[in-house]
Structure formats: structure tokens, C-alpha cells
Amino acid sequence: MKIANLMNEQFHDKDKAREYLENMRWSNGVICPHCGSTEAYKLEAKPNSKRPVRNGVYKCKTCRKQFTVTVGTIFEDSHIPLNKWLMAIYLLCSSKKGMSAHQLHRSLGITYKSAWFMAHRIRYAMTQSPVIDKLQGIVEADETYIGGKHRGKRGRGSENKTPVFALVERNGRVRSFKTERVTAKNLGGKIREHVDKQATIMTDEFLAYKNLGKEYEHHTVNHGSGEYVNGNAHTNTVEGFFSILKRGINGVYHHVSEQHLERYLAEFGFRYDNRKVEDAVRASIALSQIEGKRLTYKVPC
């Protein structure tokens, strides 16, 4: 199912939002999140009963527990109305450089703290599952530095900055990582973990990549001598990813603490991997990843 645009009712009415989510998660019938049973019924107030029943509550016939569609998702235990959650997901999926918690706070009419918390949970949903296939074909590898006060890449100027290493399939997917130090051991380890042995790797001539040729077909481009494209050997794709990442982190998020950097990498990676589909489809893909990703962050004061 697609989210067509922000005018749709699920973004403006919390009951419609819940129905929308029920149709999405339970397209083949209601499933109890506690025991997996498909024998559940909707609780309705008894005629003449004075006890109100909350909308959207189901009861499992097998384990007798009650639940709603948000149990087991990033929305669980949140006081933010569900339609605002759906709208935040849409906004984060459709804004190329992301959207700050300040902007979400103003656009959705929720507190800054709630907006911050919400955005982090959504980034969490955007995180790739740990079991993913390896990158194939031509894979470009490069590192960059995020944060800090000074411009500069390796060596001078990179103090206070956090190295980010990225692997990008040409015309395909990205994996990016916060890295402690850009050593052959660290970068090589990520490459072995994420890149198929049959792939061809493109890098610049940084020493940390020197031994890759022993395990992979490896081509380099010599940036030091002003060479940017050497036949098919270039790293323009991964540099393109870094450029979107930096415009977003510098322009929208201003400051990203090292502690949360991986969440932002997940967000930019998610949009990059799904860049060829329209906003509505990208948002529904994010929405399909809300399960099993409950996050119990404390909102920082």
C-alpha cells in the first residue's frame, strides 16, 4: 500500500492513521504480538456498558492478552498521536537532506523533545537488518571526516572529527560506518564483511587500501596527482554519497554527536538505497520496518 501524499487522511486523524497501519501490518488478518496467534477479536464496549473501550484494542483468544497495532513497533508507548508519527516518517523520507528536530517540532506542533525522540526512533527503523547480502559488482570505498571545526581530510585538520567509511555499489546500495581509526585493519575488515569476493573495488591510493589487491580485483585512482578518473577507476559515486551526507549533517543537523552518528548514517543510507522510488514508496518502505525495533531511549533533558 502506498502513502500518496500529505493530504491523505491518515496524516491528519489518529483513528485513520491506526486503521491505515492495521491494514498495512495485518493485511492477512490480525496477529497477536504476544504469542503470534491469529485468533484475536476487537474489543467493543458492551451495550449499556459504562466502561469505555479504547479504539483499536484487540484481545487474543489464545493468550488472552490485549494489544493494539502499535505493540512491538517504534510507536509503542508513545504519547505522540499516530498520525503525527506517520507524517514525521513521510517528512524524513521525502526531504533529501533530512529534517531537524526543530523543524519537526514546528511542523507537527509537538515539543522539541518529542520531535527529537521521534526522529531517533524513525532513524532506528531505517537501520539495515544485520543479515544483509554483500555488495556486488563495482564497489567504491572511501573515507571522510564528519564534525570538528576545521576543513581537511587525512592528517592535519582532521582533529576532533569522526572518520566515516563508506562502501557504495556503483548504481546500487551504500553501507557507511563510523570508524575509530582509518587503518588497513579497520577498513579491510569492513570490506571483507560487506563486499563479495567477486566484486571489483575502486579506491584512491591511500595506504590503508594498499593490500586489497591480494583478495579482490582492486583499481586505484591517484587523487594526489590530480587524477580523478582513470578509465573506469574512479570514486565519484562514493564521493557523491559523502556530499549528500555532509550537506545534510552540516546544513540541516548542524551538529551531530559522535554517539548518535550511526543513526544519521542509517538515515542517509536508507534514503540513498531507496533514492530511485518516489517519496510515497520510500515512506511506505520505512513504515514496513517499524516492527521489532522498539527503542527505549530516554529523552535527554
**Rg of the Cα atoms in the chain:** 23
In the complex, least distance from residue 73 CB atom to Zn ion, rounded to whole angstroms: 16
Q: Which amino acid is at 157?
A: G
User: Coil, strand, or helix at residue 235?
Assistant: coil
Q: Which amino acid is at 297?
A: Y
Residue list 31-70, contact with Zn ion (CB under 5 A)? 32, 34-35, 37, 60, 62-63
| 59 versus 134: smaller Cβ distance to Zn ion | 59
Residue whose C-alpha cell reads 575509530 in the numeric block: 180
**Residue 157 region by backbone torsions, left for phi larger than 0, else alpha for psi between -120 and 50, else beta:** left
In the complex, least distance from residue 36 CB atom to Zn ion, rounded to whole angstroms: 7
| 71 versus 285: smaller Cβ distance to Zn ion | 71
Interface map 163-202 toward Zn ion (x if CB under 5 A): ----------------------------------------
Neighbours of 62 (CB within 10 A): 13
Burial label for 45, CB within 10 Å (0-12, 13-18, 19+), is exposed
| 15 versus 291: smaller Cβ distance to Zn ion | 291
In the complex, least distance from residue 195 CB atom to Zn ion, rounded to whole angstroms: 42
For Zn ion, which stretch binds (CB under 5 A), given 24-32, 154-162, 165-173, 214-222? 24-32
In the complex, least distance from residue 75 CB atom to Zn ion, rounded to whole angstroms: 19
For Zn ion, which stretch binds (CB under 5 A), given 26-34, 95-103, 177-185, 231-239? 26-34
Residue 104 and residue 91 in contact, taking contact as beta carbons nearer than 8 Å: yes
Task: Give the C-alpha separation, 29 to 112, whole Å.
Answer: 37
| 34 versus 190: smaller Cβ distance to Zn ion | 34
Residues of this chain that interact with Zn ion (CB under 5 A) are: 32, 34-35, 37, 60, 62-63
